[in-house]
Amino acid sequence: MKKAIILFFASILLTGCEDVIEIDVPSSQPRLIIDANFNVFTQENPMRLEGGARLTLSADFFDQEVPVVNDASVFLTDLGTGTQYPLVLANNDGLYLPRRVDIFDSFETTYELTVIYDNQTYVGVAKFIPTAPIDTVTQGTKTLFNGDETEVIVTFKDDGNRDDYYLYDFGFDLFRPLEDRFFQGEDFVFSQFYDSDDVKAGDVVTIKTYGIDQQYFTYIELVIEQAGEGGSPFGSAPATTRGNMINTTIFDNYPLGYFLISEANEMKLEIQDL
């Protein structure tokens, strides 16, 4: 009985020590995020564009919604000819698109993206970067740790006349950047594994490749490392990762995000029950 009384009072003391701890997360000044990824599928007829210039504002950690920017002036400039192409707002969701896809007609052209928002001007420069098309996408039989993953095998031939950097998109926020340092001008084969919770027999997966440059290759490796497994590079970075856009009005108020124009290619594969 004496032992039971001691345990009873001990439980009262432990319960009485429970306090609600409120974490005071400091609020930060919103920063403009410019996710400007123009992915051009040149081998399709007609050519197709995915992406565009998406403008949002950074938000505090516990905010449920990301503010979109629908009142900016956005345009592209062909620096060779000086021709300007205004971008128009699509669906009031912060996405700005060119009126025509065929403005991206040469890999030799350098483009400048200009964003004017809140009396400040942001600019970035990018070239239209080619990519090697995907040759084949097949299903393999290898697995990883769980033993029930699905293997997809991708093959392509690298162009030996240039230094290439690639970003492969496998869906489900699975991305893989590649550089051709060790396979320049050669056929390259690699595997990607899907978790059984994501992909099953009968599903169709879409594999995409984008041409990127060395600067974006370094940038995207940092973004994926910070986001962890499954982190998407086509969204605001989890930390302050500087991109290639600058604020020409107030230099220290730099934006987040990146400006990139990529040739894109895709191939689909229906998963079989092997």
**DSSP conformation letters of 8-55:** HHHHHHHHHT--PPPP-PPP----EEEEEEEEEETTSSS-EEEEEEEE
**Does residue 54 sit within a domain?**
yes
Residues 248, 252, 257, 260, CA torsion sign: positive
Q: Please report the pLDDT score of residue 226 as a whole number.
A: 82
Closest CA to 220 of 233, 238, 206: 233
Mean pLDDT by 10 residues, the chain (274 residues): 44 49 60 97 96 92 79 97 97 95 95 98 98 98 89 98 97 95 97 95 98 96 76 52 93 96 98 90
The pLDDT of residue 274 is: 78
pLDDT at 5: 44
Question: In this structure, are residues 217 and 163 in contact, taking their beta carbons and an 8 Å threshold?
Answer: no
- Residue ranges of alpha helices (H) inside the chain are 2-16, 214-227
In a domain, 121, yes or no: yes
- Considering the domain boundaries, does residue 185 fall inside one? no
Let me know: does 218 contact 169? Beta carbons within 8 Å: no
Asked whether residue 117 is domain-assigned, the answer is: yes
pLDDT score for 240: 59
How far, in Å, CA of 181 to CA of 183, rounded?
Answer: 6
Task: For residue 41, tell me if it sits in a domain.
Answer: yes
Q: Which pLDDT value is given to residue 19?
A: 54
Domain count, the chain: 1
Within 13 Å, how many C-alpha atoms sit on residue 185's CB side? 3
Is residue 169, in this structure, part of any structural domain at all? no
Q: How far apart are CA 59 and CA 141, in angstroms?
A: 44
Residue 186 lies in a domain: no
pLDDT at 60: 67
What span, in angstroms and rounded, lies between the C-alpha atoms of 81 and 105?
13
Is position 256 within any domain?
yes
* pLDDT at 20 (0 to 100): 53
- Residue 233 is predicted with a pLDDT of 58
CA–CA separation, 270 vs 200, rounded Å?
10
Question: Using an 8 Å Cβ cutoff, are 264 and 50 in contact?
Answer: yes
Q: Residue 92 belongs to what domain range?
A: 32-131+233-264
**pLDDT at residue 38 in the model:** 98
List 243's β-bridge partners, or say none. none
